[in-house]
Structure 1
Amino acid sequence: MEPTEAGTTATTRSVDAGLRETLRRLSVLAGSAPPFDPGRAPAEPLALFTEWLCHAIESGVAEPHAMTLSTVDETGRPWARVLICKDVTTDGGWHFAVSSISRRGRQLSTNPVAALTFYWPQLGRQIRVSGPVVRDPDDIAAADFLARPAGSREMALTRRQSEPYSDQAELDAALATARAELATAPDLVPAEWTSYAVVADTVEFWQSDTTRRHVRVQYQRADGGWTRTLLWP
């Protein structure tokens, strides 16, 4: 029995009789990465992030710039979704872009903090980033929007992300309206399109080990620089 949110108990039961065993038989920690000596890690995390990301790209990892963005709504409930990292800058900012009127945008307006997770199972590596979130200048947001594929811009111009809809015809109609809007004004950038940056105050690098002696190095901002700490696996 496990406690629920209300403090009562609920029976735990797999949706399929064999699911638990099926999951236990799946392989884990099968990735392979170069040796990582935390004692030789750089003094700040941006250099190590760039090194690991470039290695993931060169190793052919699919969508290595995909990351899980975790935010918190006004009630304290966490939300997570996968999106694309657009840039990492020397001020310690990990950048992404979304509509400020989307669910993500509203949550960031209420609670301007976030966590990011990069995971590359082929390499047995993940990177965790967390910190306050700030808005980038409007020109960065505009450049991001205009560089997006037409389908992405059309969908953003419906201005209805995460809202319920009745049927496919409703979606088709909204997209047709957005397509016509872009045909009239190809350089249109919606006012709500926003580029954000997670200004990291904590960055953790995790490399797996089949014996569970995972290597974990955590960087934290301190006195204008960074401290580096080994964490227990």
Structure 2
Amino acid sequence: MEDTSKLIGERKTLVGPFPPFNPYKRFEYPHELFLEWFQAAIANGEHEPQSMTLSTTDPYGFPDARILILKDIDENGWYFASSSKSKKGKQLEVNPNVALTFYWSLIGRQVRVRGKVMGMGKERSTNDFLNRGIVARAIALLDKQSSILEKRSDFDIALIEQLNRLKENPASVSNSWTLYRVVAKEVEFWQGNEERKHIRLKFNYDGEKWTQNLLWP
């Protein structure tokens, strides 16, 4: 079998060219630059630019991470949704401090967000739930995410039951479904460079306004 380190080492990284980035442009809020980069990711063919890694910690301090979908973004924060009864939901209840990571390899850009999560209330969570596809809603209504599944057939049977439930009552909503907002305190934008002359621009919130500074790569 081929040597693992050689196999990994032969994979090319940061293969440009990448779009230009002016780190001296000023922004009132970091989400304004994020949206510029998000649109650039779409224009350059990133398959799922809305995908992000949500990092949390369990009650013992061990980190946990998984890929989720960004639902929205504005000057108040970044939004995602999940069941409050899920593993991540329980972790958020104990420790609401989280990190989000976006990586768009085709344009060599990464965005890191650190902040605190807050629930957006029943009305907005309900609206988010009802905007999901019928299968996604049916699975959410099971409310068994991360629980041990003895047999795959158990899932198939339970899913059919919930799909039938939704056909009879399309307005059914999971009581645990929650739209969350990440209220950021730090946001870092990383622009990769083929010669490793990376650009790092960090936004910090001081309680009143955002400041932005270049960091050493």
- TM-score normalised to structure 2 length: 0.96
Structure 1 counterpart of 2:162? 178
Contact 1:114 1:133 in 2 (8 A): yes
| Alpha-carbon offset, residue 139 of structure 1 | 1.5
For 1:194, what is the secondary structure of its paired residue?
strand
RMSD between superposed Cα atoms in Å: 1.2
1:101 and 2:85 equivalent?
A: yes
How many angstroms apart in 1 are the aligned matches of 2:151 and 2:2?
35
Matches within 5 A, 1:132-171: 132-171=116-155
How many angstroms apart in 1 are the aligned matches of 2:119 and 2:65?
19
1:53 to 24, 28, 38: 38
**Cα offsets for 1:123-159 (capped at 9, x unmatched):** 0001001101101121111111111111111111111
Contact 2:119 2:178 in 1 (8 A): yes
**Cα offsets for 1:54-81 (capped at 9, x unmatched):** 1111222101111000011100011100
Structure 2 counterpart of 1:64? 49
Structure 2 residues not aligned, in runs of 5+:
none
Structure 1 counterpart of 2:67? 82
Contact 1:99 1:156 in 2 (8 A): yes
Query: Cα 1:23–1:141, aligned 2, differ >3 Å: closer, same or farther?
Result: same
**Cα offsets for 1:166-214 (capped at 9, x unmatched):** 1221111111221122122111111100000100000000000122111
**Cα offsets for 1:60-110 (capped at 9, x unmatched):** 21011110000111000111000100000222x100000000001000001
Amino acid at match of 1:150: I
Contact 1:31 1:121 in 2 (8 A): no
1:202 to 154, 176, 186: 186
- TM-score normalised to structure 1 length: 0.90
Question: Percent identity at matched positions?
Answer: 41
Structure 1 counterpart of 2:204? 220
How many aligned residue pairs are there? 217
Amino acid at match of 1:179: L
> Once structures 1 and 2 are overlaid, which stretch shifts more, 34-43 or 142-151?
34-43
Contact 1:41 1:48 in 2 (8 A): no
1:211 and 2:184 equivalent?
A: no
